Structures are given as structure tokens and as C-alpha cells.
Amino acid sequence: MSTHYTRTAKGLHWAMAILLIGLLALGFYMHDLPLSPEKLQLYSWHKWAGVTAFLLVLVRLAWRVAHRPPALPASMPKLMQLAAHAGHLALYLLMLALPLSGWLMSSAKGFQTVWFGILPIPDLLEKNKELGAQLAEVHEALAILFILTLLAHIGAALKHHFIDKDDILTRMLPRHAKEN
């Protein structure tokens, strides 16, 4: 078994990283803007990117199920291996929960998502202003939790690279592509 991720896994990882960081930045930027046509356009772009991220995470999960990731080094303590698996599970759960909470929030607020202005995404809930406000808080809390989990993920990768001096980080870098 290879010690590196496949090219496809790496491509999905880095595409998702760029997309999700952009989504987080846009979400926090637009949140406190006054109501305007610009803000409404930014919300549309945020929702389009959120739907795209949701679909990409489903593709990524399918790829991961069909193509097992490389094993963690045997020299890594079992507790650290457990923490790594828990961290990845948290990231995947949050990558699913964040767009779902946004979709639920938009539905409850009565703002249907039309993906790229072409494909209407069905609302999941009836319009309910109070529930929409609560879901907005859930969406924001999940975003903050995702940022914290992402920072831990990045910190762990850097720790492995600079302190442990193992290949945990390099096996996900694009230039180390070994397989399809």
C-alpha cells in the first residue's frame, strides 16, 4: 500500500481547502454588511459555493471509501492515531453539517437557493422566521467550530512536518502524487 494519497484525493483535498476557506471568509465578510444588492449577490455566491462544497464532500467521501487512505505511521502513538482519526471525522461531519445548516436556514428564512442562478434547490423547511434566526446561530457556531477544527488540523500537520519530521504532511502535498 502506498504511503501517499492518490492524485484524486489530493486534488479534492486542496480544492475543498481553497473553497472552504473562501466560503468562511465570504461568510464572515458579508454577515454584517448593510442590506444592499451587493450583499444579496454575495449571499447568492456563498450559497452556490456552499452547495458545490456539499457535493464535493460527497464525492470526496465516496472516493475515500473506495480508495483507503494510507495508514498512519506505526511509530505514531495509538492515542495520537485516535486523535487524528477523530479530527478527520470531525472535519467530515462539519463539512456536511455546515452546508446543511445553511440550506435549512435559507429554507426557514424563505430564501430558496438557486444553484448558479439556474437550478432551484428545494427548500427543506417551511418559512419560519424564528427558526431561521435560530438556524443562523447554529450555522455561525458550526463555522466557528469548523475554523477551530481546521486550525487544529493545520497545526497537527505542521507539527508532524517540523517537529516530528515524518511524512504526514508531505504525503498530501500535490507534488508527491503517486497514483491516480
- Domains belonging to the chain, first-starting first, are 7-176 (1.20.950)
Question: Across residues 65-93, what is the average pLDDT?
Answer: 95
Radius of gyration, alpha carbons of the chain: 18
Q: Which three cell numbers stand for residue 17?
A: 481547502
Q: Which three cell numbers stand for residue 155?
A: 497545526
Beta-carbon contacts of 169 under 8 Å, excluding residues fewer than 6 positions away, are 157, 158, 160, 161
107 close to 123: Cβ distance less than 8 angstroms:
yes
Long-range contacts of 45-51 (CB under 8 A, 24+ apart): 46/102, 47/102, 47/106, 47/113, 47/115, 48/113, 48/115, 48/116, 48/117, 49/19, 49/22, 49/23, 50/23, 50/98, 50/99, 50/102, 50/103, 51/99, 51/103, 51/113, 51/115, 51/121
Least confident interval from 1-10, 95-104, 154-163: 1-10
**Dist. CA 72–CA 24, nearest whole Å:** 29
Give residue-wise pLDDT tens across range 121-164.
999 999 999 999 999 999 999 999 999 999 999 999 999 999 99
5 close to 13: Cβ distance less than 8 angstroms:
yes
pLDDT at 179: 47
Give residue-wise pLDDT tens across range 53-62.
999 999 999 9
pLDDT at 2: 75
**Dist. CA 72–CA 37, nearest whole Å:** 49
Q: Is the pLDDT of residue 175 over 80?
A: no
From the number of C-beta atoms within 10 Å of its C-beta (0-12, 13-18, 19+), residue 157 rates as: middle
pTM exceeds 0.85 for this model: yes
Q: Which three cell numbers stand for residue 11?
A: 486534488
Q: Is residue 117 left, alpha or beta, with left meaning phi > 0 and alpha meaning psi from -120 to 50?
A: left
Please report which confidence band the pLDDT of residue 65 belongs to, taking 50, 70 and 90 as the band edges: very high
